[in-house]
Structures are given as C-alpha cells and as structure tokens.
Amino acid sequence: MGRTLAEAIIASHTADPVEPGSICRVRVDFAFANDITAAPAIAEFSRMGAEAVFDPARCAIVPDHFTPNKDIASARQVQVARGFARKQGMLFWEVGRAGVEHAFLPEKGLILPGEVILGADSHTCTGGALGAFATGVGSTDLAAAWALGETWFRVPETIRVVMDGKASPWVTGKDLILSLIGRIGVEGARYAALQFEGPASDALPMDDRFTVANMAVEAGAKAGLFVPDRRTLEYAKRRAARPFEPLYPDPDATYSQTIRIDAASLEPVVALPHLPSNVKTAGECGRIDLDQVFIGSCTNGRLRDLELAAAVLRGRKVHERVRLVVIPATAEVFAEALKRGFIETFLEAGAAVSTASCGPCLGGHYGILAPGERCLSTSNRNFVGRMGHPESEVLLCGPLVAAASAVTGRVTDPREVLGLEELPKGVDEE
Amino acid sequence: MSDRFSGRAWVYGDNVDTDVIIPARYLSTSDPAELAPHCLEDLDPGFMKRMVQGDILVAGNNFGCGSSREHAPLAIKGAGVSCVIAASFARIFFRNALNIGLPILECPEAVSGIRSGQRIEVDLAEGRILNLDTGQAFSAKPFPPFLRELVARGGLVPTVKARLEEKRRSTH
C-alpha cells in the first residue's frame, strides 16, 4: 500500500510496521530545545542516568524565548542550558548570532527534507515546510531523544490539503493557514499530519511555506508537511549542514481526508480573540482600534514578511496612538533587512525594532500588554493572556494586514492603504 | 501513586490551552511548587484559592492545546490535582502528562455527566469514573498496550534509564 509523506519518512526511520495508529520506535535526526524547555530536559536527562547525548552535532539548544535575558531567573535558565551544551559539545548559539529557533535552524541547514526532527517546542512543526517530519514534544520526551537518538510515535493519519487555483498577491501564507484553521477548527487535525500540495502550494515562496507549516499545530496537527519541490531542494542544498535524502508520498497513498482550498477565493484575514480559528476577512471586521502591532515571531519574522511590511510602511507613518514592534526572526534576516533598507523604513515610520527574540509573542518581554489593551500580531496564538494581562487581547494576521493596520490604527485590509503597484514581486531568495 | 482516588470536580470547557494552565510570565522556573500557585490563574482565578488536594479537573475537547511546556502538567500535578478527565487531549499535553506521571483519562461521556462541585471517584487502572453524587458510572477509553506499559513502568524516565543500562551491559 502506498505511503503518505509522513508515513514514508517514519518508515525510513523505523524497523516497526508503519500504518496509521500503530506505535513505532523512530530514529531522530536532530533534537533541540529552547531556553525555557532546556532546563527541565537537562534535569530529566540526568534523572535518566544519561551521560552523553547521542550525537552532539545533532543536538542543540537555541536561547530565544526570554533572550536577551529579561531577568535574573531567565539568565539563570540560559546559564544552565549553556553549561550543559558546553559540557556535551552540542550546538548552542549566543544571542545576537541566533534567532527564533524555527526560523534559525532551517537557515543553518539543520532541518532537512526527509528527516525526523524533534523539538521541545510546539512550533517545531515549522520544519515541515522543508518536507521533514518535524514535531513538538515536552522536555522529558526531548531528554529521552537526546539520550537515545530515538523516540516513539503513534503514526498519524494524514489529511491532504490541496490548494487549487492562484492566490491574489494580497494573500500571504498566513492568510492561507488562518483560512484553513478557520474552516477546520483548532482541533480539526488533532493527532494527524497535514500534507500541503497543489498549484497554490507550489507557488508559495519558502518563507510563506514556513508560516503555513508553523501553524499546523494550531489545528491540533502533529506535523504539517510540504511535498518537496525545486524550491525546497534549492533552499536545502544551499544550506544543508549534513547529507539528506528527500522523500515523497506515493501516488496510491491513503489519506484520512482530502481538503480542497480554492486559493483564488481567499482574502486577507484576521483571527479575533481568543482562538486562531476565529477568522474573519480584514474587510468584514468593522472598526477595531489597536494599541500595538507586532511584526515578527517564528510565524512571520522572515525576510519576505519584512519586505511586505516595509512596502506598506515606506513613506508612511505608524498611527500616533499605536506602538509598532518589529523583531526580525534571526540575525541573518536582520542583517539582510538592514541591507535592503527595510529597517530604515521601519524606523522612519516610527517603529521599535529589536534584536531577534520571541519577544512579546508569548508574553515574555519587548511589548507586554496592559489590561484592556489590544495587539494585532503576526504571531500564532491569541489565547487569553498570551501577550500579557489576561484582560488584554491579541488578534492574528499576516504582515500586510499588520503593517496597514499600524498605519491606520485599526484593523485594515492592506488594499485600503497600498496600491497594487507598490506590492513587491517576491524575494524568495532566488 | 495510588490507582484509586476521589475528589470534587472542577469543570471547564473546550480548548483549555497551556497559556491559561500556566502563563508564560511564570516560566522562568520549572519547579512544580513554584508553578502550582499560578495553575489556571488566567482561566479561573478562584481555582487555586478554593481547590483542595485530590480534586479532579474535568474539561471538554482538546485539553492542553498550545505550547509544549511541560510546566502545564507539572503545575496541575504540583497543585495537587489527582486526575484530569477530558473529552480529548491535545497530543503534546497527552504525552507530557504520561511522561511526568499526571493521571489523565479520556472520556467524553463522563465530561457530559459531571457538574462542577460533584464528588467523583476514579479507578485509574480500570479506567472507571463514578459520579458519587448521581451514581452514574463511566468507562474511559483504554490506552494502547505500549502506553499502559510506559505508565506501569512509572513513566518515561525509568523506561529510558532501563534502556541505557541495557545498552551499557551489551557494550561492556
């Protein structure tokens, strides 16, 4: 029987029979934690009686959540992580040279097509953009993978998402994934793997694919995978830190469900509080005034996102009532955005720009909300209290809606602010 | 850890996420004793003030969705909750709970048959849930054999420990 992409990757990493629902012991190609999840993983690693990680070149800690260290307790957590990484000889990067893990690790060629990737962070599914089986786990599972070089998986059913048609240039990867979550709900893909394909999927730049795969977990999915194509392989080959072997679904694979999306029918959208599935088009939101706009995170802090935001903000000003916080997701993105003039545009528009970090996304620092405040954010979660006080609100959107709304001070369809001729054609690193 | 316990039910809805179970502002520690006072703070500020040791959390679908923070089941366990019964669990929370030894049961029928404040008795090994106030009994979905073994061995830490010892013996 044919295999889906998720099944093909798991099968290449296990000796156990692979079918949906079966439990397999699976070899892990790369396993990482962040500054919040590393400390408990290190404690469990030691309780397991483990001495050395299975392969220091395949184990990493990325300090990104509360960095640059926001307080003494966070500094202490990073200190523990750094000490462990040095002792083990594993991968670790200091703030300023690193970035938000799910943007940074693909850049470094550490997440590659056909691989099994385990991360102690729920947005590890971002790596699926490269055709990897990448999934988030807790600290204890991660510690076990560091010790053994393997983990266990229940083989997920695969839901195929076919993106037909051609999306309008105003529709970004974020609009695609929010529209999908709006349709299937926050548990529409619970325990399943999403497999993205079709003409509108193929047309997506890599940066937009990362955005789509990143939010697979917001539909409850275990992984969100793009079938590798020319674009995937060009990206991966240029950056690969080790040899890799891309894998593909069989033509006769069995899917638990096929969802078809007509990309041509999609519009720029916003997810209203307090679930990512609470989706409306930006145009039908009515008047929603904003206190803050955040552009960044593992969802939308990449070069393409900043390019789109800069196109909107060029020659315009952030509304006097609004704080705009822009955080490029990695040091490389920051440097490139600087070179291309995007950072200058943000500063001239009146934005606050910071070094790579998760920042306010999870209510860490760099833009926490007071009671009653409302933030429109390009990040991935709008749960109660996510970005600060439990009586604050977070709304989610892509970079075009975010930048346009920063200018008007209220939720805005980008077409209200920008002409089509001002829209950049697409960097996509080609 | 005993397999049978009873306590009062605290009933919540669908999609109780890990941000409300333990907000990120408290994640500069992973000590259950430090996390516990903030358990469910952003969902129900009265929970920690009024719950007593052994009480049972009952929730709808997709309990524990969101972040992979193991701090969420640690906070619940640290608070003294004896068991979480939900219609369904988000997958990372499900793994984390089993790994750290927080008892969980998946049982949609029990969730519809339990109201806040009712006294509940749970037999974990049998997956039986009894509403002592109404007399209604429910059976939770059994875990697959692999997971039952994992739980019986005391979670993931002893399992990995045994595997590592086995490996060391075979290489020496």
pLDDT by residue (tens digit) across B49-82?
999 999 999 999 999 999 999 999 999 999 999 9
Query: Inter-axis angle of helices A331-339 and A342-349, to 10 degrees?
Result: 80
B26 touches chain A (CB under 8 A): no
pLDDT at A298 over 90: yes
What ipTM was estimated for this complex?
0.95
The pair of structure tokens assigned to A223 is 């992984």
Dist. CA A129–CA A120, nearest whole Å: 18
- What's the mean per-residue pLDDT of chain B? 94
Residues on chain B touching A187 (C-beta within 8 angstroms): 15, 61-62, 65, 88, 90
Q: How far is CA B120 from CA A207, B6, B98, in A?
A: 50, 5, 21
- pLDDT at res. A426: 65
Q: If pLDDT is split at 50, 70 and 90, which confidence band does A430 have?
A: very low
Identify the pLDDT of residue B125: 86
Q: Which residue is associated with the tokens 């440097």?
A: A335
Q: What is the mean pLDDT of chain A?
A: 97
% of chain B with per-residue pLDDT over 90: 83
Can you state the angle between helices B145-152 and B91-100, rounded to 10 degrees?
40
A141 Cβ under 8 Å from any chain B Cβ: yes
Task: Tell whether the model's pLDDT for residue A427 goes beyond 60.
Answer: no
- How does pLDDT run across A21-73, given as a tens digit for each residue? 999 999 999 999 999 999 999 999 999 999 999 999 999 999 999 999 999 99
Amino acid at A140: T
Instruction: Residue A385: list chain B partners with CB under 8 A.
Output: 19-20, 23, 42
State which residue of chain A sits closest to B99, comparing Cα positions. Answer: A140
B19 reaches A (C-beta below 8 A):
yes
Query: Residue A144 is nearest to which of B15, B70, B160, comparing CB atoms?
Result: B160
Contacts B23 to A, Cβ<8 Å? 363, 385, 390
| Separation between Cα atoms, residue A148 and residue A178, nearest integer Å | 37
SS3 of residue A158 by DSSP: strand
Q: What is the pLDDT of residue B55?
A: 98
A321-374: pLDDT as tens digits: 999 999 999 999 999 999 999 999 999 999 999 999 999 999 999 999 999 999
* Residue-level pLDDT at B172: 72
pLDDT above 80 for B140: yes
What order do you get walking across the sheet with A158-164 strand by strand? A223-226, A193-197, A158-164, A257-262
Q: Give backbone dihedrals phi and psi of A194, rounded to 5 degrees, phi first.
A: -95, 135
- Give the distance, in angstroms, between the CA of residue B1 and the centroid of all CA atoms in the same chain: 13
Task: Confirm if A261 and A161 have CB atoms less than 8 A apart.
Answer: yes
**pLDDT at position B2, please?**
63
Among A134, A126, A125, A119, which residue's Cα sits nearest to residue A103?
Answer: A126
- Indicate the pairing of strand A374-377 with strand A393-397: parallel
Q: How far does Cα B21 stand from its chain's mean position?
A: 12
Residue B154 clears pLDDT 90, i.e. is over it? no
pLDDT at B151 over 90: no
**Burial degree of B64 (CB within 10 A; 0-12, 13-18, 19+):** buried
CB contact under 8 A, A141 and B95: yes
Reading the block at residue A357, the tokens are 């970090």
Distance CA A100, CA A399 (A): 17
Mean pLDDT along residues A376-385: 97
Contact status of A157 with chain B (Cβ, < 8 Å): no
Mean pLDDT of A254-278: 98
Q: Which long-range contacts (CB under 8 A, 24 or more apart) does B138-141 make?
A: B138/B107, B138/B109, B138/B110, B138/B113, B139/B107, B140/B85, B140/B105, B140/B106, B140/B107, B140/B110, B141/B105, B141/B106, B141/B107
Closest-CA residue to A374 (of A293, A268, A278): A293
CA dist B65 and A387 (Å) reads 17
pLDDT over 50 (residue A429)? no
Q: Rounding to the nearest 10 degrees, give the CA dihedral for residues A402, A406, A410, A415.
A: -60
pLDDT in tens, A160-189: 999 999 999 999 999 999 999 999 999 999
Give the length of chain A.
430
Of residues A37, A48, A50, nearest to B68 (C-beta): A37
Strands A116-119 and A30-34: parallel
What SS3 class is residue A298? helix
Of B28, B156, B161, the CB nearest to A66: B28
Give the E-state strand segments of B26-166 in sequence order.
56-59, 83-86, 104-106, 119-123, 128-131, 137-139
Interacting residues of B95 by C-beta distance below 8 A, sequence separation 6+: A137, A138, A141
Report pLDDT digits (tens) over A61-115: 999 999 999 999 999 999 999 999 999 999 999 999 999 999 999 999 999 999 9
